[in-house]
Copies of this chain bind each other. A is one copy, B any other.
Amino acid sequence: MAQTSLETYITEHESRFLDDLKEWLRIPSISTLPEHAGDIRRAAEYAANQLRTIGFEHVELVATQGHPLVYADWLKAEGKPTVLIYGHYDVQPVDPIDLWQTPPFEPAERDGNLYARGACDDKGQTMLVLKALEALMRTAGSLPVNVRVLIEGEEENGGEAVEHFVRTASHRLACDAALICDTHMPSAENPALISGLRGIIYTEVEVRGARQDLHSGSYGGVAPNPLHTLAIIISRLKDAEGHIHIPGLYDRLRQPTAAEKTFWQQDPLHMNESLLEEMGVTQFTGEAEYPPLERIWGRPTLEVHGIVGGFTGEGAKTVIPAVAKAKISMRLPADLSADEVFTLFERTVHDYAPAGVIVSVRKIHTGEGVLVAPDSQAVAAATAALQETYGKEPVFMREGGSIPIAALFDAILHAPVVLMGFGLPDDNLHAPNEKFSLAQYYKGIRTVARFLQHMA
């Protein structure tokens, strides 16, 4: 009965649900650009008003050192579990603006998709949760479980405020499970739950040679060349076959489950093909003895993102730079602690540096990975909800990227984290023409509502 009326309510209100999202998307809440501070606040208030209208008891804009957090709770489901729901209202910048087919802050429907900055990441995925809460409240007069909502405004800009809040006000976030709606599915036909995310260390390695830049004619042969030193260090850290040579790194890496191994090996959803196509290449690089999906999801990796120093203009200048720097990051399966790996990394960089230069390693930031326990009630509830909406069992898969808030919930709140997202691989996150499938938006509303019912 309740189920029918929930379905009816959602169907009847789809059009308004879309309008509410569009109105939110028109606010250019770009968190990295100071000139959008006013928009950031308006976007936060818009979310708070939505929560008040739904009937949340306590709705608050939490002031921080940066952009405000939206916090709300409804805790009247006595004896029922508490679910913490996370989203973010800030969006990425829009450059290059001229590649957008329609303006990024004027939401436009085309071919069953809604195009706008934030359409998917993460206003779309946050709004679908709010609409699920609304539908539950309007049809049952209450929510099936206790709910806390936390929506941040700095996800695209480091997320310091929310981290501080989680660490210092964890009692206000006490919960039995957390839902993060900020990931994607392999395709519209294949629902997924994310079972693991990699952590990250992001570093800058600086090499200093001579006191000042030198001329390669006068000194080439006896002068330290920091760019060459970086090449030596980088090639020793990771060889041409993708093996990382940091003593101790692989010691704590645990074996994946048998199910994961099979999935990675057999690639039942043909994700390898999509990866090659997305990259525009004909072969994978990296550790040939592991399947490509394992290389991205289950193995530590090391990448160089940029090297500075010397001369990079047009033509020729024969300078040996005094200083050169490389940005190097590592992605880490959850078994590997970011801080421990940073210590190993730093020590190894020094070990690999040739004599005659001064090497220093700076930690720019770190974030832990996360592995979701597959046997929690929350995962069972999410599985059932996806199965009901999509008519198909979800796959459990990892993602190669990092969502630090997931690890934080895991570590600080000790709550199982459900990473259930409705994005698709072609949603153009962080790029021009970001979009969200309308069908996924509506299915997402239904799935989250069912998930909360199953949690009761």
Contact = CB atoms under 8 A, between A and B. Distances in A.
Interface stretch (A3-11, A167-175, A310-318, A383-391): A310-318
Contacts of A211: 279-281
Interface stretch (A12-20, A232-240, A435-443): A232-240
B306 A312 contact: yes
Contact of A311 (B224, B232, B306, B319): B306
A92 B200 CA distance: 46
Contact of A216 (B301, B307, B365): B301
Interface in A218-265: 218-225, 227-228, 230-232, 234-236, 238-242
B200 A221 contact: no
A228 B221 contact: no
Interface stretch (A38-46, A106-114, A399-407): A399-407
Nearest to A330: B220
Given A305-B311, A306-B309, A329-B316, A210 B401 contact: no
Contacts of A318: 200, 202, 303, 305, 329
A392 B449 CA distance: 97
Contacts of A215: 401, 430
A279 B215 CA distance: 10
A246 to B, nearest CB: 15
Interface string A434-456: 00000000000000000000000
Interface in A333-350: none
A33 interface: no
Contacts of A307: 227, 307, 309-310, 312
A299 interface: yes
A220 to B, nearest CB: 4
A284 interface: yes
A383 B317 CA distance: 34
A220 B305 CA distance: 11
Given A210-B279, A306-B309, A285 B222 contact: yes
A198 interface: yes
Given A296-B218, A331-B216, A227 B305 contact: yes
A320 B327 CA distance: 11
A304 interface: yes
5 contacts: A202-B318, A221-B331, A223-B279, A223-B285, A232-B240
Given A225-B303, A307-B309, A317-B327, 4 more contacts: A221-B287, A221-B301, A223-B285, A312-B327
Interface of A: 198, 200, 202, 209-212, 214-225, 227-228, 230-232, 234-236, 238-242, 275, 278-281, 283-287, 292, 295-296, 299, 301, 303-312, 315-321, 325, 327, 329, 331, 354-356, 364-365, 399-402, 430
Nearest 4 Cβ contacts at the A-B interface: A217-B401, A211-B280, A221-B295, A235-B235
